[in-house]
Amino acid sequence: MILDRKKIVRRLSLINLLALLLVISATERVSAQGKLVVAIQPSVSSDEMLKKAQPLEKFLRDGLGGKTDVQVYVPSSFAAVVESLRFGHAQVAFMSAWPAQLAVRLGGAEVPLAEVRQVVIGKEKKEAPYYFSYWVVLPNSPYQNLQSLKGKAVCFPSPISTSGYVAPMGRLAELNLIQTMQGKEADPKTFFKEVLFGGGYGQCWQALKQGQVDATVTAGDIPEKLYNEVISSTRTIEQQGPIPSHAVVVSKELKDPLRSRTIQTITKLGEPQHRDLMRSFISSIFVGFKPTTADEHLGSLNNYLKLVGLKYTERL
């Protein structure tokens, strides 16, 4: 089912508000002294993730010497994770690039670690803290580049996707195919006749196959089987990136020595014997962590956001 962007935003706004109230209520009951609160961006139901998080809690607690009470929270939205860091209700978060950028910009958070993952760049598998996304058309399509898609129909996976919306929109701006007025978000409908939001990469691929749209976007961090199916059945007409992978974000309230000890302990999750702790419920393609900074890891995303003026804050 193809989803309408305005309905998505309204629905997200209500969910995000409720989730934020829940996470604040829960965390305010806990003293921050001697405690490390870790927020994890949701990917499945909170109850399921919390159950899977128990081994991670133990790993972090043991790695910190057993004297720090580690508690994992799984809010039901991206926004609640950002807000929990912003207002000091969590000290650490595992999150994707755009929410991480918001935590840095709105809450002064830091990005000490970038997630290194098994991704596909072009047709080559690599281990990297970044990846690319691609505009694709069917093999017999007459369209040879983005410029030729003017007035056509396209499908974006989601209006809050870094690789499926922010970066593709940024590439359109880089090529001067769309413009952004100061203080306003770039509108893809100023270039395309019809814009659909499929709700995922698989749904947009189906829309392209069924002739509902003329082009769509795929990305190198989606399941390899789906990626290979799309790439082998389409023709790439443009790419954008590098797109930053997920990151570990720490609150400005987390001070040494706990800050350094926490980062050292999280880094050990990249050791082969511990990787399943991350793969089981955070990222199935996780390999390890790379030391970084917000400027280094999120630089390309910041550039895309500047070009197109997209404001995730309106969805908080």
Per-residue pLDDT of the chain (316 residues; tens, 9 = 90+): 555 655 555 554 544 544 444 444 444 433 344 789 999 876 656 667 777 788 889 999 999 998 899 998 887 777 888 888 888 889 999 999 999 999 999 889 999 999 999 998 988 899 999 999 999 999 999 999 999 999 999 999 999 889 999 999 999 999 999 988 777 889 999 999 999 999 999 999 999 999 999 999 999 989 889 999 999 999 999 999 999 999 999 999 999 999 999 999 999 999 999 999 888 877 889 999 999 999 999 999 999 999 998 876 434 3
The predicted structure's pLDDT at residue 40: 85
Phi-psi region of 309 (alpha: psi -120 to 50; beta: other; left: phi over 0): left
CA distances to 169, 175, 216, 311 from 9, in Å: 18, 27, 21, 12
Q: What is the DSSP string of 260-294?
A: HHHHHHHHGGGSGGGHHHHHTTT-TTEEEEEE--H
The predicted structure's pLDDT at residue 11: 52
Report CA dihedral (80, 195, 171, 112) to the nearest 10 degrees. Answer: 10
With vertex at residue 25, the alpha carbon angle to CA 104 and CA 100, rounded to the nearest 5 degrees, is 15
Report the Cα–Cα distance between both ends of the chain, in Å, rounded.
25
Q: What is the DSSP string of 110-175?
A: EEEEEEEEEEEETTEEEEESEEEEEEEE-TT-S--SGGGGTT-EEEES-TT-IIIIIHHHHHHHHT
Residue 128: strand pairing partners: 117
With vertex at residue 265, the alpha carbon angle to CA 290 and CA 84, rounded to the nearest 5 degrees, is 85
CA distances to 126, 211, 248, 300 from 290, in Å: 14, 41, 10, 17
Q: What pLDDT digit, counting tens, does each position of 195-232 carry?
A: 999 999 999 999 999 999 999 999 998 988 999 999 99
For residues 98 and 298, what is the distance between their CA atoms, to the nearest angstrom?
A: 9
Q: Do domains 5-119+245-315 and 130-243 have the same CATH topology?
A: yes
For residues 180 and 118, what is the distance between their CA atoms, to the nearest angstrom?
A: 34
Contact 168, 209 (CB under 8 A): no
Contact 297, 111 (CB under 8 A): yes
Q: Are strands 247-250 and 92-95 parallel, antiparallel or unpaired?
A: antiparallel
Q: Is the peptide bond before 188 cis (omega within 30 degrees of 0)?
A: no
Closest CA to 312 of 132, 148, 169: 169
Q: What pLDDT digit, counting tens, does each position of 134-149 carry?
A: 999 999 999 999 999 9
**CATH of the domain spanning 130-243:** 3.40.190.10
Closest CA to 149 of 132, 171, 131: 171
Q: Does domain 5-119+245-315 have CATH number 3.40.190.10?
A: yes
pTM of the model: 0.82
Give the domain ranges of the chain. Answer: 5-119+245-315, 130-243
Contact 83, 18 (CB under 8 A): no
The predicted structure's pLDDT at residue 43: 61
Place of tokens 């305010």: 28
The burial of 31, by beta-carbon neighbours within 10 Å (0-12 exposed, 13-18 middle, 19 or more buried), is given as exposed
Question: How many CA atoms within 13 Å lie on the side-chain side of 109?
Answer: 34
